[in-house]
């Protein structure tokens, strides 16, 4: 089969690899219908996250079950399924409490020795604990299928940020980051009843999606200027709930700066760089909480899926470029150069 591998920074290739097969009794093999490229894949692409040469890449996909191991009870060939960006056994105490990202037997697609999502098929360990079934008729609805793919990561991650930030009916929310996760944070905040959603972003194409997703205000500034703007919009107080969806020192500094006293920052941007951007003295004096991390999207899919299916929320606009599998290297380039927001892959 063909799958995407990363040979070195900026060297993404689609190569012939060993077919995905059932190896363990709990495995399933999923033929990929939709995959995509994540902002966090760019850290590997840019060499900021280490990868072994030849490692697979891509952690978001949905598709059709092609085969199952003897122990798999919840799925059968032909089932349409979505995979969260980590697999998990579904039986440990962390899985039971909805923190599947801490499952001791869990792992990330594309980690050494595993298949990645940007390929023709994926071997799925612990299929019963990992996959979520989708209605079969969704396969014939192109736009819906694209929206459902967002359950694999960005929608659940945006939701995790909103939950971490404590978004509740009536909240004032500010969102740092105009990437797909930040935009899904806007969507999630609106879904949770936020009254006012201030999106920080300077790219009109992206802030237009933010408005479509429910942003009531857009701040086209960065750093101190953005902090001043958000403070002015909120009577000097800042936003009670802040979504941090970038992961840099600068973005975290902005998040702290725009948070209201007693508020919370829900952070889901993968931290990179040497500093945290956190001024603990400021956070201490103002009782600003920090909650978030790698999103246990498996836990959120059952809650979010019905709303995607019935059209209450439609995250599909975050995908603004579609490529066949062979187009994946160009997709990375487009996202790296910010000419594409999020690239859909249709193997």
- Write out the residues near a copy of itself by the rule CB under 8 A: 94, 97, 99, 101-102, 164, 261-262, 264, 267, 270-271, 276, 278, 280-281, 283-294, 296
CB of 158 to a copy of itself, least distance (A): 16
Contacts of 168 by beta carbon, 8 Å cutoff, 6+ apart: 192, 193
Query: Which is nearer to a copy of itself, 145 or 288 (by Cβ)?
Result: 288
CB of 19 to a copy of itself, least distance (A): 31
Nearest-angstrom CA–CA distance, 290 and 126:
32
CB of 248 to a copy of itself, least distance (A): 11
Q: Whose structure tokens read 């098929």?
A: 121
DSSP, collapsed to helix, strand or coil, labels residue 31 as strand
Query: Which is nearer to a copy of itself, 117 or 164 (by Cβ)?
Result: 164
Nearest-5° Cα angle at 61, 327 to 133: 150
Query: Which is nearer to a copy of itself, 20 or 161 (by Cβ)?
Result: 161
Q: Contact 87/65 with Cβ under 8 angstroms? A: no
Nearest-angstrom CA–CA distance, 280 and 238:
17
Query: Which is nearer to a copy of itself, 206 or 260 (by Cβ)?
Result: 260
Q: Report CA dihedral (60, 66, 70, 76) to the nearest 10 degrees.
A: 90
CB of 136 to a copy of itself, least distance (A): 34
CB of 276 to a copy of itself, least distance (A): 5
CB of 109 to a copy of itself, least distance (A): 16
Query: Which is nearer to a copy of itself, 124 or 288 (by Cβ)?
Result: 288
Nearest-5° Cα angle at 97, 92 to 103: 40
CB of 149 to a copy of itself, least distance (A): 24
DSSP, collapsed to helix, strand or coil, labels residue 232 as helix
Residue 111: count of CB within 10 angstroms of its CB: 16
Nearest-angstrom CA–CA distance, 302 and 126:
18
CB of 124 to a copy of itself, least distance (A): 22
Query: Which is nearer to a copy of itself, 127 or 243 (by Cβ)?
Result: 243
Q: Contact 314/188 with Cβ under 8 angstroms? A: no
Query: Which is nearer to a copy of itself, 163 or 328 (by Cβ)?
Result: 163
Nearest-angstrom CA–CA distance, 11 and 329:
8
Query: Which is nearer to a copy of itself, 120 or 244 (by Cβ)?
Result: 244
Nearest-angstrom CA–CA distance, 298 and 63:
16
Q: Whose structure tokens read 């020192």?
A: 249
């Amino acid at each position: 089969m063909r799958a995407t591998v990363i040979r070195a920074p900026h060297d993404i290739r689609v190569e012939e690899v060993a077919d995905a097969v059932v190896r363990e009794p709990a495995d399933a093999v999923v033929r990929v219908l939709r995959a995509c490229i994540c902002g966090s894949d760019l850290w590997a692409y840019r060499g900021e996250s280490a990868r072994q040469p030849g490692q697979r890449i891509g952690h978001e996909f949905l598709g059709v079950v092609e085969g199952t191991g003897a122990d798999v009870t919840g799925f059968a060939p032909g089932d349409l399924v979505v995979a969260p960006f980590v697999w998990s056994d579904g039986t440990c105490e962390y899985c039971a409490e909805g923190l599947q990202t801490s499952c001791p037997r869990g792992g990330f697609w594309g980690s050494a020795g595993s298949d990645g999502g940007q390929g023709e098929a994926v071997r799925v360990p612990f299929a019963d604990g990992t996959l979520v079934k989708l209605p079969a008729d969704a396969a014939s609805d192109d736009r819906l299928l694209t929206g459902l793919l967002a359950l694999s990561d960005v929608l659940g991650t945006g939701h995790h940020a909103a939950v971490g930030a404590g978004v509740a009916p009536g909240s004032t929310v500010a969102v740092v980051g105009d990437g797909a996760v930040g935009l899904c944070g806007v969507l999630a905040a609106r879904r949770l009843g936020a009254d006012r959603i201030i999106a920080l972003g300077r790219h009109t194409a992206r802030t237009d999606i933010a408005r479509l997703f429910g942003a009531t205000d857009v701040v086209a500034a960065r750093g101190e200027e953005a902090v001043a703007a958000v403070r002015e919009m909120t009577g000097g107080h800042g936003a009670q709930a802040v979504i941090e969806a970038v992961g840099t020192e600068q973005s975290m500094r902005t998040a702290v700066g725009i948070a209201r006293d007693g508020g919370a920052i829900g952070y889901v941007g993968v931290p990179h760089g040497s500093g945290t951007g956190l001024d603990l003295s400021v956070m201490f004096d103002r009782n600003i909480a920090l909650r978030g991390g790698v999103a246990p999207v498996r836990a959120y899919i059952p809650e979010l899926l019905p709303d995607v299916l019935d059209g209450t929320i439609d995250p599909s606009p975050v995908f603004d470029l579609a490529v066949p599998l062979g187009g994946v290297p160009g997709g990375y380039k487009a996202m790296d150069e910010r000419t594409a927001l999020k690239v859909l892959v249709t193997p």
